[in-house]
């Protein structure tokens, strides 16, 4: 009977990682422009802008409290997975849209009630992740873009990386506990560059 293990030097197969999908900057703009005219347009625009500007998970977005958003300083405080807290900067444009929603719509949605949550439903309660998911898919359908909250988060990270941001900063903004989770975006960006090269280089 053999005492040594014949498999001890074999390497286990690498874990297959599903590459995140991301839409282009142009498609993000088309999606944002599709949010107009409806009774909840101010809220929906503020939410989508904030998600794209900060890379929040959908659960983090709908659970944001008014006190978590510092509009004067330009950042949001997020409680992510494992109750880990992080601070994420947001753009002036996003701050402007959140201010507009808070001044012109939020109080009317509350109908005299009070809520610590930033984003409110038609019933005057905190918006659910399922409802926001349905909402964003509907706006995507209007302009022919397959989109979800997860796609917006991936687009945030991919566009930052393509713009020159370093992985450590992206890791902190996304709330990843392990840098290896964030590194998958380097593969996404490399794949995109390869496709551009093969399409436009005369000798490719």
CA pair distance 7, 201, nearest whole angstrom: 46
CA angle 124, 146, 15 (to 5 degrees): 105
Pair 170, 161: CB distance under 8 Å = yes
Which residue, among 161, 109, 113, 157, has the nearest Cα to 131 in the 3D structure? 109
Left if phi > 0, otherwise alpha if psi is -120 to 50, otherwise beta: which for 168? alpha
Active site residues: 57, 81, 150, 153, 176, 185
CA pair distance 121, 112, nearest whole angstrom: 14
**CB contact burial 101-116 (16+ within 10 A = b; e otherwise):** bbeebbeebeeeeebe
Pair 92, 74: CB distance under 8 Å = yes
């Amino acid at each position: 009977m053999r005492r040594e293990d014949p498999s001890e030097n074999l390497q286990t197969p690498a874990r297959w990682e599903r590459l995140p999908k991301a839409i282009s900057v142009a498609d993000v703009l088309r999606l944002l422009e599709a949010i107009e005219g409806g009774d909840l347009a101010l809220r929906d625009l503020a939410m989508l802008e904030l998600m794209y500007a900060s890379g929040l998970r959908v659960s983090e977005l709908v659970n944001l409290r008014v006190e978590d958003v510092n509009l004067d300083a330009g950042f949001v405080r997020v409680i992510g997975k494992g109750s880990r807290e992080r601070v994420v900067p947001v753009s002036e444009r996003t701050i402007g849209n959140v201010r507009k929603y808070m001044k012109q719509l939020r109080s009317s949605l509350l109908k005299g009630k009070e809520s610590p949550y930033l984003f409110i439903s038609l019933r005057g309660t905190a918006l659910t992740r399922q409802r926001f998911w349905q909402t964003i898919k509907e706006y995507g359908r209007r302009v022919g873009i397959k989109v979800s909250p997860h796609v917006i988060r991936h687009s945030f990270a991919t566009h930052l990386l393509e713009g020159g941001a370093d992985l450590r900063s992206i890791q902190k903004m996304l709330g990843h506990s392990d840098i290896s989770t964030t590194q998958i975006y380097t593969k996404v960006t490399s794949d995109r560059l390869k496709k551009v090269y093969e399409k436009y280089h005369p000798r490719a």
